[in-house]
Amino acid sequence: MKWGKILIVSLIVISVVLVFMTVFLPGPNGYYRPSRTAEDRIVVINLNGTIQETGSGFLYGGISPRFVQNQLRRAAADRTIKGVVLRVDSSGGSIAASQEIASMVKKYEKPIVVSMADMAASGGYYISVHAQGIVAQPGTMTGSIGVISTLMDLDGLYEMLGIKVETFKSGEHKDMFSRKLTEEERQIMQDISDEAYNQFIAEVAEGRGLDIEEVRELATGQLYLGSQALKLGLVDRLGGIEEAIDYLAELNGFENPVRYEFPQPSMFTQFFDMSYRVLFSLNKAMLGPELIMLEILREGIPPDIRYQVR
- CA–CA separation, 125 and 91 (whole Å): 8
Distances (CA, A) of 92 to 64, 121, 308: 11, 6, 4
DSSP bridge partners of 259:
42
DSSP bridge partners of 105:
none
* Catalytic residue from among 169, 174, 180, 284: 174
Eight-state DSSP code of residue 110: S
Eight-state DSSP code of residue 51: B
CA atoms within 13 A on the CB side of 158: 14
* Secondary structure element (H or E) that encloses residue 121, with its range: strand 112-121
Residue 146, φ and ψ in degrees, nearest 5: 175, -175
* Catalytic residue from among 56, 122, 128, 144: 122
- CA–CA separation, 169 and 171 (whole Å): 6
Burial zone of 62 (CB within 10 Å; 0-12 exposed, 13-18 middle, 19+ buried) = buried
Length of the chain: 310
Annotation says 174 is catalytic: yes
Residue numbers annotated as active site:
122, 174
